[in-house]
Amino acid sequence: MVVQRIFRAVVMGPPGSGKGTVSSRITKTFGLQHLSSGDLLRANIESKTELGLLMRSCIDNGQLVPDDVISRLILSDLRRMETSWLLDGFPRTVSQAEALDGAYSVDTIINLDVPFQTIKERLTSRWTHLPSGRVYNTDFNPPKVTGLDDVTGEPLVQRDDDTPETVTRRLKAYQTQTEPVLEYYRSKGILVIFSGTETNKIWPHVQAFLSRKLS
Ligand code: G5P
Ligand code: MG
């Protein structure tokens, strides 16, 4: 099904909850353009832009980058995109949510509610193709050839912020800075929560919800 009318959605959830995995399934199934704040920041680090160099230590330490920096980056990319889109990893603070609200009206917030214990186990076995943001997992969705991206054959890497200590800091940042955003959207009546420990069990519910929403 390809989206016919303007539709803007955000995928939220703690680090490692499956935002990237679910976003790529939504993109494939519904043809929505996907923008991930983390992929965008990592692309800046990879190509050594001034912004990437400045933000690197924040990201490697598991802290959020400043609101004004990320809001400017995302809003300027959204202006270049199609009118319908799917955001992943932004907004992550109430101030970012207000900045997004000032520019666009969002139809729905899909929140992936996955227990922290499940997340810690996943992230240490994640492998990423940095140029595309495609993610693999040695247990859950291994690449066809170990260490190589299925599409390009290029090498996969482990993210610098996927060490157990940094994951703990990222989860803490999520609790203190991002959980209040859920309340913000709940009060606007657009928050939908999908709970579970396995993406393959959560996904059919997300798919059914979006099919209903878009039909
Ligand atoms: P990111 O890049 O947005 P996070 O921490 O929010 O990073 P992350 O780590 O990218 O989120 P995800 O996208 O939610 O996780 O999850 P994923 O990659 O799809 O899945 C995680 C792993 O689990 C993968 O290996 C996947 O294959 C596997 N998996 C999925 N489902 C299952 C399953 O059912 N079972 C199993 N066994 N495995 C599964 O942000 C990074 C940093 O950038 C900065 C911050 O510093 C942040 O820490 N940043 C921002 N700062 C300020 N404001 C913002 N808006 C920012 N956005 C990014
Ligand atoms: Mg991600």
Most informative mutation of 93, 113, 130, 199 for ligand 1 (most atoms within 8 A of CB): 199
Q: Output phi, psi for 28, to 5 deg.
A: -65, -40
Q: How far is CA 30 from CA 1, 23, 62, 80, 207, in A?
A: 5, 10, 32, 20, 9
Mutate to test the pocket of ligand 1, among 25, 26, 37, 159 (most ligand atoms within 8 A of CB): 37
Cα–Cα distance between 42 and 131 in angstroms, integer? 9
Smallest CA-to-CA distance from 181 within 63, 88, 92 is with 92
For residue 2, is pLDDT > 90?
Answer: no
Ramachandran class of 71: left when φ > 0, alpha when ψ lies in -120 to 50, beta otherwise: alpha
Report the nearest-CA residue for atom 2 of ligand 1. 38
Per-residue model confidence as pLDDT tens digits over 139-198:
899 999 999 999 999 999 999 999 999 999 999 999 999 999 999 999 999 999 999 999
Concatenated DSSP letters of 156-179: PB--GGGSHHHHHHHHHHIIIIIH
Nearest to 12 by CA among 132, 190, 157: 190
| 29-85: pLDDT as tens digits | 999 999 999 999 999 999 999 999 999 999 999 999 999 999 999 999 999 987 899
Helices of type H across the chain: 19-30, 37-46, 50-60, 67-80, 94-103, 116-123, 164-173, 179-188, 199-214
Residue 3, pLDDT score:
58
Q: Is the CB of 32 under 6 A from ligand 1?
A: no
| CB crowding 29-41: b at 16 or more within 10 Å, else e | ebebebbbbbbbb
Model ipTM?
A: 0.98
- Report the atom number in ligand 1 closest to the C-alpha of 173: 48
Catalytic residue among 42, 92, 122, 134: 92
Q: How far apart, in whole angstroms, are the C-alpha atoms of residue 118 and residue 61?
A: 21
Residue 148 CA to ligand 1 center (angstroms) comes to: 19
Buried b / exposed e along 114-130 (16+ C-beta atoms within 10 A): beeeebeebbeebbbbb
